[in-house]
Copies of this chain bind each other. A is one copy, B any other.
Amino acid sequence: MIISRSIEEIREVVANWRLEGCDIGLVPTMGYFHDGHLELMRTSVHRADKTVVSLFVNPTQFGPGEDLDVYPRDFDGDCAKARQVGVDAMFCPGPQEIYQSGYKTEVSVASLAAGLCGVDRPGHFTGVATVVTKLFNIVLPDYAFFGDKDFQQLRIIQQLTQDLNFAISIVGVPIVREDDGLAMSSRNAYLSESERQEVLVLYKALQLIRQRVFESKGTIDTDDLIKTAAALFDKNNSCSLEYLSIVDEQSLQGLSKVWGRCRALGAIRVNQRIRLIDNMALYR
């Protein structure tokens, strides 16, 4: 597996693969790999001739007071895991390689970024959209793989790819969960043992919503559903609900009735310190 820290070098690696007739898959990550990341990589290895994993903890997608400085890192462990699933190259630039002095440009998909996680994290999705645009231009992949767990991010990237005419297929990969249902996340590493149990409430709330939708025969008001699911949080002290919404998958706009391809999304804050998200499709 090639490990490259410079833009020039990874470009040359990819250009040579292209000359050999290979197509390229890109898996953008911030490292500290769990099975969710590995599933993205396996999907890419299966789909594309060559897989590039980028590992870059992108400062511009963290807000003031967020966890940029303590974001978990394990470079050697990450390289070993990526190698094991068959990744061909890791692109691991430092911040100066990505943001040269005088950096000024922003890519934004404002109408998809305003709600849901965008309320608590203003600027976050502009940071994501901009760095992904840069990674797309650096690697010029045929496919790029993103987890369904960050569903709002996935939609924003699908939209910018279409809007900016990138010739890239964006592939959403299903959420990988722990045995008890917790969505895998690098931020789960922050949880104490008791918090680890309590955060399951978000998964349970989403499951309750899905169960009610699947059992129902008529149309269902989303207000009632959300009220019922949000009530699960009352008994739970360490986790506060940041939002719980049922939205149209395309527009990310809230729905008054469950209809079509819609999805429940939620975010919680654990003891004010840790922010976790999860979501579930409400159709089969």
A 127-164 to B, binary, CB cutoff 8 A, 1 in contact else 0: 00110011001100000000000000000000110111
| A111 CB–B CB distance under 8 Å | yes
Check A112 against B104 for contact (C-beta < 8 Å). yes
Check B107 against A111 for contact (C-beta < 8 Å). no
Which residue in B105, B108, B109, B167 is a CB contact (below 8 Å) of A164?
A: B105
Check B109 against A160 for contact (C-beta < 8 Å). no
The residue of chain B having its C-beta at the shortest distance from the C-beta of A135 within the complex is B165
Collect the chain B residues with CB atoms within 8 Å of residue A110's CB. Answer: 104, 106
| A7 CB–B CB distance under 8 Å | yes
Collect the chain B residues with CB atoms within 8 Å of residue A216's CB. Answer: none
Check A105 against B159 for contact (C-beta < 8 Å). yes
Which A4-61 residues sit within 8 Å CB-CB of chain B?
7, 11
Which residue in B100, B134, B163 is a CB contact (below 8 Å) of A105?
A: B163
A109 to B106, CA, bound (A): 6
Check B104 against A164 for contact (C-beta < 8 Å). no
Collect the chain B residues with CB atoms within 8 Å of residue A165's CB. Answer: 7, 134, 137-138
Collect the chain B residues with CB atoms within 8 Å of residue A162's CB. Answer: 100
Number of copies: 2
Size of chain A's interface in residues, with CB distance under 8 A? 29
Check A105 against B167 for contact (C-beta < 8 Å). no
Check B112 against A137 for contact (C-beta < 8 Å). no
Check B134 against A164 for contact (C-beta < 8 Å). yes
Collect the chain B residues with CB atoms within 8 Å of residue A62's CB. Answer: none
A103 to B160, CA, bound (A): 9
| A166 CB–B CB distance under 8 Å | yes
Whether A104 touches B137, Cβ cut-off 8 Å, given contacts A7-B165, A167-B11, is: no
Which residue in B7, B105, B112, B138 is a CB contact (below 8 Å) of A107?
A: B105
A246 to B250, CA, bound (A): 47
Q: How far is the CB of A166 from chain B (nearest CB, A)?
A: 5
A129 to B163, CA, bound (A): 13
The residue of chain B having its C-beta at the shortest distance from the C-beta of A139 within the complex is B165
A107 to B106, CA, bound (A): 6
Q: How far is the CB of A158 from chain B (nearest CB, A)?
A: 11
Q: How far is the CB of A251 from chain B (nearest CB, A)?
A: 8
Q: How far is the CB of A88 from chain B (nearest CB, A)?
A: 20
Taking A105-B164, A137-B165 as known contacts, 5 extra A-B pairs with beta carbons closer than 8 A to each other, sorted by chain A number, are A11-B167, A104-B112, A107-B107, A134-B163, A138-B165
- CB-CB nearest 3 A-B residue pairs: A105-B163, A137-B165, A105-B160
A-B contact pairs, 18 of them (CB 8 A): A7-B165, A104-B112, A104-B159, A105-B107, A105-B108, A105-B109, A105-B163, A105-B164, A106-B107, A106-B109, A106-B110, A108-B108, A130-B164, A134-B163, A134-B164, A134-B165, A137-B164, A137-B165
